[in-house]
Amino acid sequence: MKYSIYNNYIEYRGGFIAFNALSMGLLYLAPKLMELINFNQPKDLENIHPDFYSALKVNGFLCENNIDEFKYAANLIQSINNDTKSYRLIVNPTTNCNFHCWYCYENHGKINKMRDEIQERVCLHIKQIMSKKDLEHFQLSFFGGEPLLYYSEVMLPIAKYAKDCATTYHKDYAMDITTNAYLFNSCRLEKLRGLGLASCQITLDGNKEKHNKTRFPHKNIGSYSTIIHNIHSAVELGIEVVLRINYTQENLSDLELIFKDFDALSTEKRKLITLSMNKVWQETNKNLDDSVNRFIDLAEEFGFTIPDAVLEDHVRNSCYADKVNEAVINFDGKVYKCNARDFTDERQEGMLDSDGNIIWNSLHSKRNEVRIQNKQCKQCSVFPICGGGCSQIALENAGKDYCIGKEGMEESIKHMFLSNYCIKRNI
């Protein structure tokens, strides 16, 4: 037996968090047990402390001498991302938006809307995918721009078609929308709920005063009250809401004032709201963690759902853009993989043809080739939960020797430990 290359030991409260990134094994070690690891080989440890040796073996901290752990981890990444049982289709009815947030990366230039011809191609693609026998789940996502700008003309016809297809081919089906929620109303929510709408991602930029300075349809017309009202309407219908907070140093102050605007919701309905904290990418202050964590604690106490720390495992919960069975179809029929970048010709990875087929280009092929090529990853103890970053990061750093931040992954290990180990053992 040998010690796994994916063992991580992090000091915590007088002891050590022991975490194996491949097996996901977690232990809390007293200093004397840590000394046994530091000063003994596995074969000696078996004689010195058989019970401890057994615990290390069961939890994956020890492995057979002939195992190539990096190959095993690489195969794990490939198997997860090559799964064909699920398919996620992201549709951009438009890249226009009724808001003009200062930090937005997208170009909301000339007016654009998905033409009928492209809608027909999208529907043919949906039918093509859903007719596959091995497909079990189909996820339809609407993105933009603001997709609700063309609710009747684009969203509704595609949503209806997808729902009918799922019924015809007996597929598990769900729909989600990333929206600013300003154009929602009860009628639209009820209609979409009936067509499979399960969740929405909706953004707030601080409390009412600060939000209205950033997210508005017109100057001097705020959006906060309308958005709050529509969030209430959504959760009352049983629609889950990912409440994304785009935070800066400025809007973190008095952020807890938002809770009073959800007081009327029952405990059950508050649980349908999941908090997602995201630092605005132009924010330069790197010392906001304490303020963010304080707010997260308050949100959990208030009754919002806090994402499970296990989601910080970026391999087993990899980005949808890493999956083979995922595509982003833009309003013009151009196809992309990542929607966290602007939709330029340079980033285009394919085109939707008249039969609903995606004709992928060489950039898409390159995306599939660059993963797991980084030299640093082959020696990194957190590789099985980091994966070297998403495929977009790998694509943008192709040919470079880079690291997306091991220290950040060590913080993730602490979060996983605190949520999955300490709570059970009251540490």
The pLDDT tens digits for 215-271 are 988 877 899 999 999 999 999 999 999 999 999 999 999 999 999 999 999 999 999
**Mean pLDDT value across residues 177-204:** 97
Task: For residue 426, give every residue at least 6 positions away whose Cβ sits within 8 Å of its Cβ, in sequence order, or none.
Answer: none
The tokens of 52 are what?
């401890």
> For the segment 108-165, what is each residue's pLDDT rounded down to a tens digit?
667 799 999 999 999 999 999 999 999 999 999 999 999 999 999 999 999 999 999 9
pTM (2 d.p.): 0.92
The pLDDT, as a whole number, for residue 427 is: 46
Which one of 98-107, 278-287, 357-366, 418-427 scores highest in mean pLDDT?
357-366
CA 53/CA 45 separation, integer angstroms: 6
Instruction: Tell me the CB-side half-sphere exposure of residue 183, using CA atoms within 13 A.
Output: 17
Please state, rounded to an integer, the average pLDDT across all residues of the chain: 93
The pLDDT, as a whole number, for residue 3 is: 97
The tokens of 418 are what?
């605190």
The tokens of 351 are what?
């085109």
Q: For a pLDDT cut of 90, what percent of the chain falls above it?
A: 79
- Angstrom CA distances, 308 to 296, 363, 420, stand at 12, 34, 9
Which one of 184-198, 310-324, 411-425 scores highest in mean pLDDT?
184-198
Domain limits, CATH 3.20.20.70, in the chain: 79-360
pLDDT of 425 above 50: no
CATH code of domain 79-360 = 3.20.20.70
Query: 366 or 106: which carries more pLDDT confidence?
Result: 366
